[in-house]
Amino acid sequence: MKLLPVLLSAIGGVLLAAPPGAIAIRNARVVPVSGPAIQKGTVVLRNGLIEAVGAEVTVPADAWVIEGDGLTVYPGMIDALSTFGIPEAAPASGARAGAQAATPQPAAPLAHGPEDRPNTTSWLKAADLVKPTDQRLESVRAEGFTTAVTFPTHGILAGQGAVVNLAGETAGEMVVAEGAGQYVTFATSPGFGGGFPNSLMGVLAYIRQVYIDAGHYRQAKQFYAAHSRGTPRPEFDRALEGVLESSRVLLPATRRVDVDRLLRMADELHVEALLYGLPEGYRSADLLKNAAATALVSLKWPEKSKDADPEEADSIRVLQVRDHAPSTPAVLARSGVRFALYSGGIDKRADLFRAVRRAIDAGLAPEDALRAMTLTPAEIYGVADRLGSIEKGKIANLVVTKGDLFAEKTEVKYVFVDGAKFEPIEEPAAPKPGAPEASGPASNQSGANQ
């Protein structure tokens, strides 16, 4: 009986069936995030929305019933900073959200200054780039993500993000909201002669000039609109259009000094900043708190490079950062700093859950971890009216587990995206060293996952 779904999902995690009129998950433990957990409750989904949730909800006559005994229903998780859904962003590494430096386009002509708008594609919109064919969607859903805030990530001003649901027949169906913000990296050209900018201070100067230019451009356009006759028209500048369209800007903050300088810069440029990365967030909480800033914390905790020379000892500072980084969410929670967690490109459930557990082990309350991956990112991006919690009328994005979310042995049984049910491929349990050798199909699957 267990074979059937496994077989079906092995074909590609397919949509098992078009949902009937309604689906009801009955007698499950429901964790709505927006309110207290319901020990024995029912959630009814219809037309891609949550029709009802509660302990006393009657199952509609036309509903397809899922018995929820032993299961827990959570809101679908939101990856707060991601490239999921943009197939072109999928390659091995480099394009991972949060990567320090994306490689610039090799064929681009050398920039001689800010006027050449180097490494800039601020007009690109993730909403135009997402496709349901991104092969990562299936494994990402298996982690419990139903939504990603996804961004173009190549370049200094890389483009504008969108909130997308991680399933859909068409790209258009996936998009929940656009205008999530402008994604910034500190991409530099390699070496001298590689074109402007080739240093961090060059990148920062460039960003400052672009925002000053954008303000001037807006002013010039407004003036022109009021005095078209007799005024030379301002030259159309798509890079500045892209900047002006972006209500917030995502800035990479690896160290405390980055937090400090970028918060100051955001203040100077009058932009709403979301700082992302934050492995040193544990020692930056005072700065974030004072600026009432919001942080996106990568779950990809810093690790000793696998290629590192074993003879070479790291400095105590480097060791401290690697040890303390997972305490960042706990410290931010204690300090009252608003933060969301994002996968940092982790696309295996075991890795993702282990990363969250490290934060929990370092003092983060499990309910705060859950909130940081559901309702808080929805609030940050202004979509909490439709995503992030199990409430009547919100989008029917759910994760149904056997066991507590993030626990080591927990299975993700079902994932609902816009009310459509998915049964994730079960990742084979990693055999313990010394455990009997798994054989046959299971180990083949294991190979496919590595």
Partner 1 sequence: MKLALIVFVGAASWLTAAPPIVIQNATILTVTKGTLNGSVLIRDGKIAEVGENISIPPDAKKIDASGQFVMPGIIDCHSHIAADSINEGSVSVSSMVGIQDVLNPDDVSIYRAVAGGVTTANILHGSANSIGGKCTVIKLRWGKDATDMIFEGALPGIKFALGENPKRAGNPTGQRIGAGNVPGRYPATRMGVEDVIREAFNQAKAYQQSWKDYNDKVARGEQAIPPRRDLKLEPLVEVLEGKRLVHAHCYRADEILMLLRVADDYGFKIRTLQHVLEGYKVAKEIAAHGAGASTFSDWWAYKLEAFDAIPYNAAIMMRKGIIVSLNSDSDELMRHLNDEAAKTLKYGGLTETEALSLITINPAKQLMIDNRVGSIEVGKDADLAIFDKHPLSNYAKVEKVFIDGQLYFDRATDVAERPEREAEKKKLMDKEKEEQKKNAPAGRGRPAA
178 vs 260 by CB, closer to partner 1: 260
Min separation Cβ 140 and partner 1, Å: 21
10 vs 308 by CB, closer to partner 1: 308
Min separation Cβ 113 and partner 1, Å: 6
Sheet of 272-277, strands arranged across: 77-82, 145-150, 157-165, 175-184, 248-253, 272-277, 294-298, 338-342
1 vs 233 by CB, closer to partner 1: 233
201 vs 448 by CB, closer to partner 1: 201
67 vs 223 by CB, closer to partner 1: 223
93 vs 439 by CB, closer to partner 1: 439
Min separation Cβ 205 and partner 1, Å: 4
**Amino acid at residue number 336:** G
Min separation Cβ 354 and partner 1, Å: 7
161 vs 202 by CB, closer to partner 1: 202
CA dihedral 209, 211, 212, 214 (to 10 degrees): 120
Q: Calculate the CA 416 to chain-centre distance.
A: 18
Min separation Cβ 267 and partner 1, Å: 12
Residue 180 near residue 163 (C-beta atoms within 8 A):
yes
Distance CA 267, CA 269 (A): 6
Min separation Cβ 294 and partner 1, Å: 20
Instruction: Give, as one character, the DSSP assignment of residue 426.
Output: P
Distance CA 164, CA 181 (A): 13
74 vs 282 by CB, closer to partner 1: 282
Q: Where are the beta strands (DSSP E) in 361-410?
A: 398-402
Beta-carbon-side half-sphere exposure of residue 365 (alpha carbons within 13 Å): 6
Three-state DSSP at 264 gives helix
Q: What is the largest CA-CA distance in the chain?
A: 84
Residue with tokens 């919690």: 389
Min separation Cβ 361 and partner 1, Å: 11
Contacting positions for partner 1 (CB under 8 A)? 110-114, 189, 191-202, 204-206, 208-209, 212-213, 216, 219-220, 223, 227, 255-257, 260-261, 264-265, 287, 304, 313-317, 319-320, 322-323, 354, 430-433, 437, 439, 443, 446
Distance CA 295, CA 337 (A): 8
Distance CA 345, CA 83 (A): 8
194 vs 403 by CB, closer to partner 1: 194
208 vs 338 by CB, closer to partner 1: 208
Three-state DSSP at 140 gives helix
Beta-carbon-side half-sphere exposure of residue 400 (alpha carbons within 13 Å): 27
Q: For residue 207, give Cα distances in angstroms to 213, 271, 310.
A: 10, 12, 39
**At residue 258, what are phi and psi to the nearest 5 degrees?**
-65, -45
Min separation Cβ 111 and partner 1, Å: 8
Min separation Cβ 201 and partner 1, Å: 4
Residue by residue, DSSP assigns 144-178 as: TEEEEEE---SSSEEEEEEEEES--SSHHHHEEEE
Min separation Cβ 416 and partner 1, Å: 31
